[in-house]
Chain A
Amino acid sequence: MIEVTIQLLGFIAAAALVVIGIAGMLFLDNLIKKIIAFTLLSDGVNLLLVALGYIEGGIVPILMPGMSASEFAARAVLVFPVGIVLTNIVIGVSTTAILVALAIMLYRRYGTLKASKVLKGERR
């Protein structure tokens, strides 16, 4: 029996988010729904990266007074994935903004938000 840790729960949630996001982007027809599914996929990837850096029984990577550097290095959670994910969250917002702007322009040109109708290319 596998011992359930927070890291394992993080992997499970990340896998669920990635599967739901990819399925939503593939099978949903509405463009706004596709964008929401894209944000869910991005959340899943972020959660996977943070869960990879987790150390069981670790501490928050803040150097408190009275803590030696070697003890901090041995116990602190990895800082590098946190830095990557912090960048990735901000990049995700700007990517979503561009996608929403493109969806608005497609709606103005084709008069619909359905991807199947947009792909047929009938101008309104």
Chain B
Amino acid sequence: MIELSSSFIAMAYVMVVAITVGAVAALLQKDLLRAAFISGAESIALAFFFQALLAPDLGLTQAIVGTVLLPGIIILGIFKTRRTEED
């Protein structure tokens, strides 16, 4: 039995900041491709947070799904439509 929660709380502090900043930054981009990539970065921070909350299976699933699959689907949609946000 290893006590991990004391070392995980430092990681949790960093990941709260990363999740919030990443979510705001993803929605503020004019370039939709960049927004998709930044949402993937936010998703990997969320995967680390799941790891800190002692749910490693969720961390693995979120890392794969949120970083590859979701931005991939969104990028597919961007290439079928248009890349920049019109004004």
**Residue of B at shortest CB range from A41?**
B23
Which chain A residues lie closer than 8 Å to B50 at the CB level? 47, 50
Within 8 Å of chain A (Cβ to Cβ): is B62? Answer: yes
- What 1/0 flags go to A48-68 for Cβ under 8 Å of B? 001101101111110000000
Given contacts A5-B9, A36-B35, contact A60 B27 (CB under 8 A): no
Task: Please tell me which one of the listed residues B12, B62, B74 contacts residue A36 in the complex, with CB atoms under 8 A apart.
Answer: B74
Chain A residues bordering chain B, tally (CB within 8 A)? 53
CB distance from A92 to the nearest CB of B (A): 8
Residues on B with beta carbons closer than 8 Å to the beta carbon of A114: 86
Q: How far is the CA of A28 from the CA of B78 in the complex (A)?
A: 17
Given contacts A58-B5, A113-B81, contact A20 B54 (CB under 8 A): no
User: Among A39, A57, A113, which residue has the most Cβ atoms of chain B within 10 A?
Assistant: A39
Q: Among residues 1 to 54 in chain B, which have CB atoms less than 8 Å away from a CB atom of chain A?
A: 1, 3, 5, 8-9, 12-13, 15-16, 19-20, 23-24, 26-27, 32, 35-36, 39, 42-43, 46, 49-50, 52-54
Provided the pairs A6-B52, A10-B49 are in contact, do residues A33 and B58 lie with their beta carbons within 8 angstroms?
A: no
Docked-complex contact A40 and B61, CB < 8 angstroms: no
CB pair A100–B76 under 8 Å, yes or no, is yes
Q: How far is the CB of A1 from chain B (nearest CB, A)?
A: 16
User: Across the interface, do B16 and A97 meet the contact criterion of CB distance under 8 Å?
Assistant: no
Q: Which of B5, B35, B39 is within 8 Å of A6, CB to CB?
A: B5
Q: Tell me the bound Cα distance from A86 to B24 in angstroms.
A: 25
- Are B58 and A89 interface neighbours, CB within 8 A? yes
B53 vs chain A, min Cβ distance (A): 5
Measured CA separation A4–B10 after assembly (Å): 11
**Which residues of B sit under 8 angstroms from A28, Cβ to Cβ?**
27
Interface residues of B, Cβ cutoff 8 Å to A: 1, 3, 5, 8-9, 12-13, 15-16, 19-20, 23-24, 26-27, 32, 35-36, 39, 42-43, 46, 49-50, 52-58, 61-62, 65-66, 69-70, 73-74, 76-78, 80-82, 85-86
